Every structure is written in C-alpha cells, then in structure tokens.
Amino acid sequence: MQATNLSYWEKANFYRSDVLIVGSGIVGLNAAIIIKKQQPNLSVSILERGFLPSGASTKNAGFACFGSLSELVEQEKICGTNALHQLIGKRWKGLQKLRSMVGDTKLDLQINGGFELFKPQDFTLSEKCVSKISHFNELIKDITSNDSVFNTAHQQINSFGFDGIDCLIENKLEAQLDPGKMIKALVEIASSLGVVILSNCTVNQFEQEENRILVATSQGNFKTKKLLFCTNAFANQLIPDLQLKPGRGQVLITKPIENLKLKGTFHYDKGYYYFRNVGNRVLLGGGRNLDFFTEETHQFGETPLVQNTLLRLLKEVILPYTAFEIEQKWSGIMAFGPELSPIIEEVKPNVFCAVRCNGMGIAIGSQTGEEAGEMVLRSF
C-alpha cells in the first residue's frame, strides 16, 4: 500500500532507518534496546501490526520460570544433558537481564516459588520426577548458585487447598511478574534510547534493493539497511520454511477470592496446565494438548473443549471448596518447534530473525533479543 500525503519530514524520519524490527514483543524490544545501547547513532524503528503487541508477550501468564521438573525430564530426552544445561543457563541469564534492566518493582516480580502438582494416578511420572530432583539440582547449581532449587513439598498440598493431589515438587527460585508492566517498562526504556515504535502497521512483504531493503506495510513502504523479524509464531507468514508452528494458549482469570490460599506459580500435567495467584485472583491457562490440531492456529479465540476443561480443573482440583466466578478469558499465540532453542539467524543478506521462544519467552526472550541485536550489529 502507498501511504498518501506523506511529508518530506515524515518520509525521512519515520520511513527510513538503519534497522527495522518487526514485532514489539519482548524479543523485538530487547533487540532494539541492545542495538541502541551499543550504537546510539543508528536509527532503529519497530513496526507492530497491533494497537498493542498482538502475539504472546502481553497475553501470557507471567511465570518467570526456567523449567518445571517434568518439563526438564522431557526436555533432557529431546536435547541431551549438555544442551539442556546450556538452555537453562540462557533462560536464567535472560531472567536476570530482564530483572536488572527493568527492576523487580517495575516488573511486579515476586519470588513466591513454583510448584508442580501430581495426581495419585500420575504415580509413575511423579516417582520419576522425585527421583530426578538431586540430578537437576546438581545440573543447575552452577547456573543458579543454589544447590537445592527443587524439593518435594507434599506437606503444602493441604495449605494450598488442593483436592486429588498427592505429590508436590517445589522450585524455590521460580517467580511471577506482570507481563503488561514488563512490556510497558521495555517500551519506556526503548523510547528513552530513541527507538521509534509504530503501531497498527502490518508488514506484508519485503524486497531487497541494491543497498536497502524495501518493506511494504499497511502504512506504506519503508526502507532500511537491516531488517529483523521478531514475529515469533507469525514468522512463517513472511519467511516460509522456518521450523516452527503456532500454538494457541487459552487463559482465564477469576474475580477476587476472599482468603485465597494459593500463592505462587503452579504447573500441572507436564506443564500443559499452569495457574497462579494474581493478588487474590486465580489465573489458569493451558489445555493445548486436548486438541493440538485446533490449537495449532494463528487465530485468537476460545473453544468449549478447553474452557470446560479449565473450569473443571478449577472446580475439582484447584478451588474445590471455594466459590469463584470467572472475570475474563483471552488467548495468545506461541511458537513451537522440533528443537527447544530459539531460531536466531540471518535468513537472507541483511534480513534476520529471532523467533520460536517455545512457550518460555519471559525467561529466554531478553537473551534472544540481545543475541539477535548483536547479530545485526556485527553485520554492519
């Protein structure tokens, strides 16, 4: 589309940049910040198709997590012990970077611990996870500087008020934050460094010209020297052949509950369900595994199958003795792939991508954005 009535000044200052980033989620913002911090003279703009970021970064559950025990057991099978150690290191480093850049107060970060729940019928899995506690404590002690991150916490089952659960494993370093506050703070930092963030601007295609890249958008044509896609689940729409698929996450939140017993972040059924307290409300999400086919979508929305299962879980396991009402439901879109690590690469000369945070972008997003920004800087 050709934008009409653009002034000379608008074209020069908003439609030309040294680096153009697509996507204003956690990865895109972090990439922009690192580029401006290291090379303040480069002009950096971000184009975002939504009025607000419209993927996962402001729609997620706010778990500042680096892996529950059963997730780590599964992930070790996929990538091996050394690669998993490296990946946990990146998640941890990403979290620490986010905390030191934004500050815990601005993130509303609370370290209340994370807990994984198991039912009696999950005995084989819970036994396996309990038997792996010392292995994973040993594996991550150089990363976290703590030698007993994971512990059994069965004694807390009653105090949280759960029903039908007989095994609880705690990760004492897991934290929770407010993803809206996180993105607001990152936008503030990026803007203070001179990054231009333009919303309601969908990138439709790009084309290499002699020394520049022409980027066609819903608001007209932009020109840039370097183009970086931080579009996560939507990356395949403009860069086909990337090894990633979308995965929708459905979430609900209750109205405030008097004397709510649970506090912290909770994982259930190998991480396919997750819930936490948000003050005195409960936020619950997950259930993609009920129908992977339908949930492999770029469309936001809710389905009766997932919503009814979430409600049942709330009524029967999480809040069995407490009346509650649902206040709000929403969904977000994640990116998954055969490998656990993000794709951070140059896909064509001067065109880069940093995508596929595999559902754990709060932890690994800052690190991914930073690595992507450094990759772009090296190419100048």
Q: Considering the complex, what minimum distance in angstroms separates the CB of residue 95 from ligand FAD?
A: 9
Among 317, 319, 334, 375, indicate the residue that binds ligand FAD (CB under 6 A): 334
Nearer CB in complex with ligand FAD: 48/170: 48
The answer to the question of residue 75 lying near ligand FAD (CB under 6 A) is no
Q: Would you count residue 271 as binding ligand FAD (CB under 6 A)?
A: no
Least distance (Å) from ligand FAD to the CB of residue 369?
7
CA 345 – CA 111 distance, rounded (Å): 34
**Min separation Cβ 352 and ligand FAD, Å:** 13
- Asked if residue 38 lies in contact with residue 18, where contact means CB atoms within 8 angstroms, the answer is no
Q: Which is nearer to ligand FAD, 25 or 373 (CB)?
A: 25
For 22-51, give the DSSP string. Answer: E--SHHHHHHHHHHHHH-TTS-EEEE-SSS
Q: How far is the CB of 61 from ligand FAD (least distance, A)?
A: 4
Please identify which residue in 14, 63, 136, 275 interacts with ligand FAD, judged by CB under 6 A: 63
- Distance in angstroms (rounded) separating the CA atoms of residues 299 and 202: 16
SS (H, E, C) 86-140: HHHHHHHHHHHHHHHHHCHHHHCCECCCEEEEECHHHHHHHHHHHHCHHHHHHHH
Q: Is 28 in the site for ligand FAD (CB under 6 A)?
A: yes
Indicate whether 359 belongs to the interface with ligand FAD (CB under 6 A).
yes
Binds ligand FAD by CB under 6 A, chosen from 230, 314, 340, 343? 230
> Scanning residues 360 to 379, which ones bind ligand FAD (CB under 6 A)?
360-363, 365
61 near ligand FAD, judged by CB under 6 A: yes
- The token pair that represents 143 in the structure block: 């990363």
Distance CA 19, CA 181 (A): 26
> Which one of 31, 32, 47, 252 is in contact with ligand FAD (CB under 6 A)?
47
- Per DSSP bridges, beta strands 220-229 and 16-22 are parallel
Total number of residues that touch ligand FAD (CB under 6 A) = 42
Torsion region of 172: left, alpha or beta (phi above 0 gives left; psi -120 to 50 gives alpha) = alpha
Among 17, 70, 144, 231, contact with ligand FAD (rule: CB under 6 A): 231
Cβ 231 to ligand FAD, closest distance in Å? Answer: 4
* Tokens at 357, concatenated: 């945070």
- Contact between 171 and ligand FAD by CB under 6 A: the answer reads no
Longest dimension (CA), the chain: 69
Q: Does 56 bind ligand FAD (CB under 6 A)?
A: yes
Residues 6+ apart with CB under 8 A from 279: 256
Provide, rounded to whole angstroms, the least separation between the CB of residue 8 and ligand FAD. Answer: 25
Residue 17: strand, helix, or coil: strand
Which residues in 109-138 contact ligand FAD (CB under 6 A)? none
DSSP helix/strand/coil, 379: coil
Cβ of residue 198: shortest distance to ligand FAD, in angstroms?
9
Q: Which residue matches tokens 């370093």?
A: 173
The residues that touch ligand FAD, with contacts defined as CB under 6 A, are: 22-28, 47-50, 53-57, 59-63, 65, 202-203, 230-234, 249, 251, 285, 332-334, 357, 359-363, 365
